Amino acid sequence: MTQLPRLYREIEQALPGHPIPNFLRMGHWIGGDRDGNPNVTADTLKRALSRQCETALRYYLTEVHALGAELSVSQMLAPVTTAMQALATQSPDQNAHREDEPYRRALIGIYARLAATLMALTGTEALRHAVAPQKPYPDAESFLADLRTIEASLKYHHAQAMIVPRLAPLMRAVQVFGFHLATVDLRQSSDQHEAVVAELLRAAQVEANYSALDEAARRDLLLRLLNDARPLRLIAGEYSEHTRSELAIFETARLMLKSYGRHAIRHYIISHT
């Protein structure tokens, strides 16, 4: 989580004045590749993304804590923007000794929200306890927005030198890794999909023998069903263990995307097509 932000920084230095988009992210298939491995299930996918989320959030917590120690400048020496002052005011930190340290107060509040996010998404606690309970971040973009408020205030008051060492790499890390760390690719063999589709169609009394259809007939049937609002999955349907397991993957994937963001799962690969 340190090397990719460093790479982006080197590119920025080589191309001054040109904003560098997030063109390089991490991805893998561990926890999502079911092709030939029946041990990969919905629970495997859930556990993989939970562990990844925990890794990312613990890194952010460490960096935010360190930033709080570094950005202890008093507003009597360096004024802050209105947005920055509002962020500091929202912090649960009421320590009188830090009353004139808006950056540190804001970062204490950010840490508390990250700690709440860690608990909400992974069920684990931060190593350093937050000063008070806070609402978790709904997504990584909201966390990044708070960091950008700090960055904008530092830039506005000509303190760019305080951005480069830690804040800038942290912001890039959030853009690259989000709350998911790496995209998990889902993969399953085409024959396994065929078996599930055949069972769904048979149970819904749409097609008694999907597997016996030729390629053109299958394509026409599937295209027709895609334009039909009626769901194929029956709520009280009695499906085989294999079909239930495959359907659970899709349900879990939907929940994982909601929890960890749209980059958590980006690819679904049907092999042997």
pLDDT in tens, 133-176: 999 999 999 999 999 999 999 999 888 899 999 999 999 999 99
Q: Show the low-confidence residues of the chain (pLDDT under 70).
A: none
State both tokens at 261.
């963001």
The strand pair at 27-28 and 183-184 is best described as parallel
40, part of any domain = no
Instruction: Indicate the burial class of 93 (C-beta count within 10 angstroms; 0-12, 13-18, 19 or more).
Output: buried
Q: Is residue 60 part of a domain?
A: yes
pLDDT in the model for residue 245: 96
Does residue 94 form part of some domain?
yes
> Which is nearest to 149 in space by CA: 75, 70, 102, 84?
84
* CA separation for the pair 57, 12 (Å, rounded): 25
Q: What confidence score (pLDDT) does residue 222 get? A: 95
Task: Kindly state whether residues 71 and 194 are assigned to the same domain.
Answer: no
Of residues 88, 84, 77, the one with CA closest to residue 154? 84
**143 with 215, same domain?**
no
Predicted pLDDT of residue 236: 83
The predicted structure's pLDDT at residue 78: 85
Helix (H) or strand (E) holding 184: strand 183-184
Judgement on whether residues 145 and 224 belong to the same structural domain of the protein: no
Domain that holds residue 169: 3-15+50-182
What dihedral do alpha carbons 88, 90, 93, 97 form, nearest 10°? 40
CB 242 within 8 A of CB 195: yes
- Residue closest to 102 by CA, chosen among 156, 139, 175, 50: 156
Domain boundary pick from 182, 209, 244: 182
Which H helix or E strand runs over 186? strand 186-189
How far apart, in whole angstroms, are the C-alpha atoms of residue 147 and residue 2? 17
On whether both 205 and 77 belong to a single domain, the answer is no
What is the Cα gyration radius of the chain?
24
pLDDT in tens, 114-126: 999 999 999 999 9
Q: Is residue 35 part of a domain?
A: no
Cβ–Cβ under 8 Å, residues 79 and 101:
no
Q: Are residues 120 and 142 in the same domain?
A: yes
> What pLDDT is recorded for position 95?
84
Cα gap 22→2, rounded to integer Å: 15
Q: State how far the Cα of 51 lies from the Cα of 34, in Å rounded to an integer.
A: 19
Helices marked H in the chain: 3-14, 42-70, 82-89, 102-122, 140-156, 167-177, 190-203, 215-226, 241-260
Q: Considering its fold, how many domains does the chain have in total?
A: 2
Establish if 261 belongs to a structural domain: yes
Of 128, 156, 182, the domain-final residue: 182
Identify whether the C-beta of residue 173 lies closer than 8 Å to the C-beta of residue 143.
no
**155 in the same domain as 62:** yes
88 and 69 inside one domain: yes
CATH of the domain at 137: 1.20.1440.90
* Residues 68, 178 share a domain: yes
Q: Are 176 and 256 spatial neighbours (Cβ–Cβ below 8 Å)?
A: no
pLDDT of residue 10: 96
Judgement on whether residues 71 and 115 belong to the same structural domain of the protein: yes
Asked if residue 216 and residue 89 are part of one domain, the reply reads no
Residue 88 lies in a domain: yes
Residue 254 in domain: yes
> Is residue 23 in some structural domain?
no
The model's pTM = 0.93
Last residue of a domain, one of 182, 198, 230: 182
Same domain for 255 and 128 = no
Burial (CB count within 10 angstroms: exposed 0-12, middle 13-18, buried 19+), residue 170? buried
Q: Is the same domain home to 149 and 192?
A: no
